[in-house]
C-alpha cells in the first residue's frame, strides 16, 4: 500500500458507504461495510452488509452484499474455534439485535445467529436496542463492546457503550460487566453519548477509539490494560476534509508493519458517505491522506 499515491476518499459509490471494517490477509484487504441505499433510513430493504476486496485501496473487486436486507454495522472479523466470525446487527426494524455470521473461506457466510439478547434489558438501555458490536479476542476470552440507547433523561436519544465477555466456544453464555451503568455514557463533550467502537493493541496496552457524540460527532479515545477498566483521554483532533465536512465517525484501526492505519466514514455537504484513510506512527496521533 503506497500512501503517497492514495487520495481521500479512497472509496466511494453511488450507495452510501457506512461502518467500515477491515480484515487484512497476505492477499490484501477484505472490507466489510454497511450499504445504505435509496435515501429512506427506515426501510430494511435499503440496508445490507456489503463486502469488497482490495490490494491497494485503488482497485476494488467482488463488491456485493453478503447478508440479507435489513442488516448493518459489521464489527471486527475474528477467528474463533478455527472459523471466521463477523458480528453485525439487524437494522432498522425493532428490536435491533446483535448477530454474527460464520465463514470458513471469507466468501460464503451463514445466516445470522443472534447473541447477547439479554443486553436489551439492561436498566440503562431504555430503548431496548443493541447495536454496533465490536469483537476483541484476548487469549481464550472474547470481549464484545456494544451500544444501547437511553431515551429517558435527555431531549434527544443518547447512545451508550456497554461491555460483555465470554469464554464459551458457542458464544451463548456471556458475562455483562456493565449491568448497572454503561462503560461510556453522556458527557459535556457529547451529551448524546457515543457509538462505533474500535479496539486495538498498542505495545502493552489496549486503545479504544470511538465516535463521540451523534449530532456533532467526532473521535475520542481511551486506554486500558485489561479491556474492562478504561482511562478516557478525550477528543482526537484530525484534519477535516471536504468528504467529511458534515460529520465523521465509525473508525476502524489495524496495524501495518511501519504504522497504524484507520479507515473512517465521512459525510459531505450533499449527505453522501464515503471512506477515507489516516495513518499514525504511535496509534494516537493521526494524519490524513491527501485529498482528491
Cα 33–199–240 angle (5° rounding)?
A: 65
pLDDT confidence of residue 155: 62
pLDDT confidence of residue 213: 85
Say how many Å lie between the first and final Cα of the chain, rounded.
17
Cell digits of residue 215: 449530532
Q: Determine contact, residues 101/90, Cβ cutoff 8 Å.
A: no
Residue whose C-alpha cell is 455470521 = 101
Residue 25: CB atoms within 10 A of its CB come to 9
Cell digits of residue 231: 482511562
Confirm whether pTM is higher than 0.85: yes
Question: Sign of the CA dihedral 231, 226, 166, 72?
Answer: positive
Rg, the chain, Cα only: 18
What is the C-alpha separation between 100 and 80, in angstroms, rounded? 12
Q: b/e string for 93-124 if b means 16 or more Cβ within 10 A?
A: eeebbbbbbbeeebeebeebeebbeebbebeb
Q: Phi, psi at residue 154, to the nearest 5°?
A: -135, 155
Mean of the pLDDT values across residues 212-227?
Answer: 91
Mean of the pLDDT values across residues 8-37?
Answer: 97
Q: Phi, psi at residue 119, to the nearest 5°?
A: -65, -20
What is the C-alpha separation between 86 and 84, in angstroms, rounded? 7
Q: pLDDT tens digit string along 76-111?
A: 999 998 999 999 999 999 999 999 999 999 999 999
What is the C-alpha separation between 289 and 276, in angstroms, rounded? 8
Cβ-proximal residues to 276 (8 Å cutoff; 6+ apart), any chain:
8, 9, 10, 241, 243, 244, 263, 264, 266, 288, 289
Cell digits of residue 75: 464489527
Cell digits of residue 283: 496509534
pLDDT confidence of residue 245: 95
What is the C-alpha separation between 196 and 132, in angstroms, rounded? 6
pLDDT confidence of residue 153: 53
| Predicted confidence band of residue 152 (pLDDT cuts 50, 70, 90) | low
pLDDT beyond 80 at 154:
no
Amino acid at each position: 500500500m503506497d500512501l503517497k499515491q492514495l487520495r481521500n476518499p479512497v472509496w466511494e459509490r453511488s450507495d452510501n458507504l457506512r461502518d467500515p471494517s477491515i480484515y487484512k490477509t497476505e492477499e490484501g484487504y477484505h472490507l466489510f461495510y454497511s450499504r445504505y441505499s435509496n435515501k429512506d433510513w427506515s426501510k430494511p430493504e435499503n440496508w445490507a452488509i456489503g463486502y469488497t476486496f482490495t490490494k491497494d485501496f485503488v482497485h476494488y473487486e467482488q463488491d456485493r452484499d453478503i447478508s440479507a436486507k435489513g442488516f448493518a454495522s459489521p464489527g471486527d472479523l475474528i477467528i474463533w474455534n478455527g472459523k471466521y466470525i463477523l458480528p453485525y446487527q439487524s437494522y432498522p426494524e425493532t428490536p435491533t439485535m446483535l448477530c454474527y455470521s460464520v465463514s470458513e473461506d471469507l466468501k460464503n457466510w451463514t445466516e445470522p445467529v443472534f447473541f447477547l439478547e439479554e443486553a436489551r434489558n439492561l436498566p440503562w438501555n431504555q430503548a431496548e436496542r443493541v447495536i454496533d458490536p465490536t469483537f476483541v479476542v484476548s487469549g481464550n476470552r472474547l470481549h464484545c463492546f456494544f451500544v444501547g440507547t437511553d431515551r429517558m433523561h435527555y431531549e434527544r436519544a443518547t447512545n451508550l457503550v456497554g461491555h460483555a465477555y465470554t469464554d464459551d466456544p458457542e458464544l451463548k453464555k456471556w458475562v455483562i460487566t456493565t449491568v448497572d451503568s454503561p462503560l461510556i455514557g453522556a458527557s459535556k463533550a457529547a451529551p448524546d453519548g457515543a457509538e462505533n467502537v474500535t479496539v486495538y493493541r498498542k505495545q502493552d496496552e489496549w486503545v479504544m477509539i470511538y465516535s463521540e457524540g451523534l449530532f456533532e460527532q467526532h473521535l475520542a479515545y481511551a486506554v486500558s490494560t485489561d479491556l474492562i477498566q478504561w482511562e478516557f483521554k478525550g477528543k482526537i483532533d484530525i484534519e477535516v476534509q471536504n468528504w467529511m465536512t458534515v460529520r465523521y465517525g465509525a473508525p476502524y484501526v489495524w496495524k501495518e508493519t511501519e504504522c497504524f492505519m484507520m479507515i473512517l466514514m465521512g459525510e459531505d455537504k450533499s449527505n453522501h458517505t464515503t471512506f477515507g484513510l489516516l495513518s499514525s506512527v504511535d496509534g494516537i496521533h493521526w494524519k490524513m491522506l491527501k485529498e482528491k
